[in-house]
Amino acid sequence: MKHTTDPAATSDLEAVQLAMGADVLGLARAVLDDPASPYTEVRYAGLRLAECLTDALRVAESRGLRLPPPDTEGVGGTDSVSVVVSVVSTEASALRSGQAVTTAAGSSRAHRAARDPRPQE
């Protein structure tokens, strides 16, 4: 996989990964909430969730590396927890907007189809 240093491309890829994670989480919840779900479906959902968690952790690490160093001089500097909360809030707002979720839903279906030989709906 080719790595990019273009901030816009990196941000776009991260947004797609996080939106796909939200899509997979929604689908997995339906499987996990149904006590009659077959073992293979539950296992498949768990594997996809693990992949999405890996992507989310990679995004968090990447964004953390791109943060400016904290202002340690004087009182009133932004602490790292506030910065993380701000980044997560901004991303959550973006995911709730129809555009990010709609884009990710199509990408997520294509992503699942590429990994899963079973027929897709």
Contacts for 106-111: CB closer than 8 Å, 24+ residues apart: 107/16, 107/19, 107/20, 108/19, 108/20, 108/23, 108/24, 111/20
| Rounded Cα gap, residues 60 and 47, in angstroms | 20
User: Cβ contacts of residue 103 below 8 Å, gap of 6+?
Assistant: 16, 19
SS3 77: coil
pLDDT in tens, the chain (121 residues): 455 567 788 888 899 999 999 999 999 999 999 999 999 999 999 999 999 999 999 999 888 888 888 776 655 555 666 666 666 666 666 665 544 433 334 444 444 444 454 444 4
pTM over 0.75: no
The domain segmentation of the chain, as residue ranges, is 7-67+77-115
Q: At what angle do helices 98-115 and 7-33 cross, to 10 degrees?
A: 70
Cα 95 to Cα 49: distance, rounded to the nearest angstrom? 17
Tokens of 70: 């904290």
Q: Are 101 and 16 in contact (CB under 8 A)?
A: no
Q: Which residue has the tokens 């273009």?
A: 6
**C-alpha distance across the termini of the chain, in Å:** 29
